[in-house]
Every structure is written in structure tokens, then in C-alpha cells.
Structure 1
Amino acid sequence: MHTLTIEIPDQFEKKEVLLSIAAQLYQKGALNAKQAADLADVSLNDLSYYSLPESDPAKQLLEPATEYSTTKEWIESIKKEQRYKGFDNNRMRKLADKMDIQEPLEVLLSQLTK
């Protein structure tokens, strides 16, 4: 293994430079994806994202996610983004009564997973 020392001007972030180098080495086949991701200290998803050209439609699918400290925080952000109000059991029962649905709500919901 060789050691390379690079002086990076202050206007560049170390992480961005490492990511750029790692992505280029990966694209040229000098490193495999895992090695390149390790070099840049990023996930394989982030490496794939930064390795794709801007015009590639797959880039939208790989956009780096916002980091959340907990799964609950991530779920709450999705609920807020989608303006989720929660399941209104009373409203559902009123709709079922209006439609004259005979099966209990629990049975109907269990049928959705079959």
C-alpha cells in the first residue's frame, strides 16, 4: 500500500476531494466500490450517487438521504412531509355504516394483507 500526501487549498472540503478521487478511481476500475467508499468514508449509495453523471436519471433514485438520529425522527419527517393526519377510526366506522358494510373493520383490514 502506498501513502500519498495531498495539500488541499482551504476553499475545498477534505471529504469532497476524497469523494471525487474515490469516484474517479472507481470509474476507472482502479478500486472496487467498497474500496472507493471506504477511501471516501461514505456509504456505497453515496459513492454510486456521486459517480453518476448529472444527466443519468438513476441519480434521482440515489439522492443522499437526510441523516436522522433515530428511525422515529425519520418516520415523523415523512409524516410531516406527506401531511399525514393519522387513521381516523370513527370516520371509518361512519363510512362503513353509511355503505352498510357488514364485516368488522378488523376483518376488512386483515384482508388487505392477503
Structure 2
Amino acid sequence: MKTLTINLPENFEKEKVLLSIAGQLYQQGALSAKQATDLAGVTMNEFVYSTLADDDPLKSMISNPDDKNLSFEDRIEKLKTKQGYKGLNKEKLEALRDAIDIQEPLEVLLSQLTK
């Protein structure tokens, strides 16, 4: 393994530079994903997130590394807000249930799911 020394200006963040270098080396095939994460000192999630373009739809499906300090409940609430989730409308659901008027026994309906 070779050693490279880079003198960075004070306004550069070492972590971001390492992540950028690791991403470039990974994209060129010079490093495996594991080697790139080790070089950058980040998790695989953080590495993958950083290599995706801002408009890549996959980026919205991966947890933003900035959210790593959020609790599970806070992450769920953030997702609900982002997706505009309003919850179930119990009255509307019950009205729909009554409107379709299912006559078959539950066992018959369940057996149809496995066909």
C-alpha cells in the first residue's frame, strides 16, 4: 500500500475530502466499497448516500447520515411529514368496508390469497 500526504487549506474539512477521494477511487474501480468506507472513515450507508446525485430517487430511500442522531420515533415522524401521511380515517375505512359488503367467510377469502 502506498502513502499519500496532502496538505489541505484550513477551510477544507478532512472528512469531506476523504469521502470525496474515496468516492472517486471507488467509482474508478480502484477501491472496493469496503476499502472506500475504511478510507473515508464512514459507514456504508454514509458512503452510498454521499456517492449518489442529489436528484437520484434512491437517495430519498436511504437514511440521511445527518439523521443518525434521531431516535427511531423521530425518523418515523420525519418520514410521515415528508410523505404527507395523515393517518387512517377510521370512519372512511368503515364506510368503505360496509359499502363492499363482503359475504364470503374469512377462511374462503384467505384461501384465495394462496392460489
- Please report the TM-score for the alignment, with normalisation by the length of structure 2: 0.63
Match of 1:13 in 2: 13
1:6 deviates by 2.7
Gaps of 5+ in 1: none
1:48 deviates by 4.1
SS at match of 1:77: helix
Superposition CA RMSD, Å: 3.2
Say whether the 8 Å CA contact 1:46–1:62 is kept in structure 2. Answer: no
Aligned residues: 103
Distance 1:7 1:36 in 2: 20
Name segments (4+ residues, structure 1) moved above 6 Å.
Answer: none
Say whether the 8 Å CA contact 2:22–2:39 is kept in structure 1. Answer: yes
Distance 2:49 2:87 in 1: 34
- Residues 1:65 and 2:63 are matched in the alignment: yes
- Residues 1:32 and 2:32 are matched in the alignment: yes
Distance 2:97 2:29 in 1: 60
- Please report the TM-score for the alignment, with normalisation by the length of structure 1: 0.63
Match of 1:22 in 2: 22
Distance 1:80 1:62 in 2: 17
SS at match of 1:17: helix
Give identity over the alignment, percent.
42
Distance 1:84 1:30 in 2: 43
